[in-house]
Amino acid sequence: MKNRRLSCLKSARRIVVKVGSNVLTRDNSLNLEVVYAISRQISHLIDSGLEVILVSSGAVAAGLKRMGLSRRPDALPMRQAVAAVGQARLIMAYERAFEEYDRKVAQILLTGDGLNQRKRYLNARHTLHSLLSCHIIPIINENDTVSVEEIKFGDNDNLSAIIALLVNADLLINLTDIDGLYDKDPRTATDARLIPFVDTIRRDIEQFASSIPGTLGTGGMLSKIRAARKVNTAGIPMIIAQGSQPDILLKLFAGEEYGTFFIPKSHKLTNRKCWIGFTAKPKGEVRIDDGAVRAILRKGKSILPIGITQVEGEFGVGAPVELKNGTGQVLGIGLVNYSATDIRRIMGVHTSDIRARLGENPYDEVIHRDNLTITAEEAG
Ligand X SMILES: Nc1ncnc2c1ncn2[C@@H]1O[C@H](COP(=O)(O)OP(=O)(O)O)[C@@H](O)[C@H]1O
Q: Which residues bind ligand X (CB under 6 A)?
A: 20-23, 57, 176-178, 181-182, 184-187, 208-210, 213-214, 217-221
| Cβ count near 241 (within 10 Å) | 21
Q: Report what 59 binds from ligand X, ligand VHF, none; CB cut-off 5-8 Å by kind.
A: ligand VHF
- Strands 320-324, 171-176: parallel, antiparallel or unpaired by DSSP? unpaired
The least distance separating ligand X from the CB of residue 168, rounded to whole angstroms, comes to 24
224 annotated to bind ligand? yes
Q: H helices within the chain, ranges in order?
A: 2-11, 21-24, 32-47, 59-66, 76-99, 112-116, 118-133, 156-166, 203-208, 220-233, 248-253, 271-278, 290-298, 340-346, 354-358
The least distance separating ligand VHF from the CB of residue 342, rounded to whole angstroms, comes to 40
Give, as one character, the DSSP assignment of residue 133: H
Question: Cβ closer to ligand VHF: 161 or 374?
Answer: 161
Q: Report what 208 binds from ligand VHF, ligand X, none; CB cut-off 5-8 Å by kind.
A: ligand X
Q: Which residues bind to ligand VHF, rule: CB under 6 A? A: 20-21, 57-61, 83, 141-142, 144, 155-156, 213, 217-219
Between CA 317 and CA 337 the distance in angstroms is: 5
Inter-CA distances, 47 with 44, 102, 256, 294, Å: 5, 11, 19, 48
The least distance separating ligand VHF from the CB of residue 58, rounded to whole angstroms, comes to 5
Q: Report what 141 binds from ligand X, ligand VHF, none; CB cut-off 5-8 Å by kind.
A: ligand VHF
Between CA 168 and CA 12 the distance in angstroms is: 11
Strand partners, 220: none
Question: Cβ closer to ligand VHF: 137 or 240?
Answer: 240
Q: Report what 181 binds from ligand VHF, ligand X, none; CB cut-off 5-8 Å by kind.
A: ligand X
Q: Which residues are annotated as a binding site?
A: 18, 57, 144, 156, 176-177, 218-224
Q: Which residues are annotated as a binding site for substrate?
A: 57, 144, 156
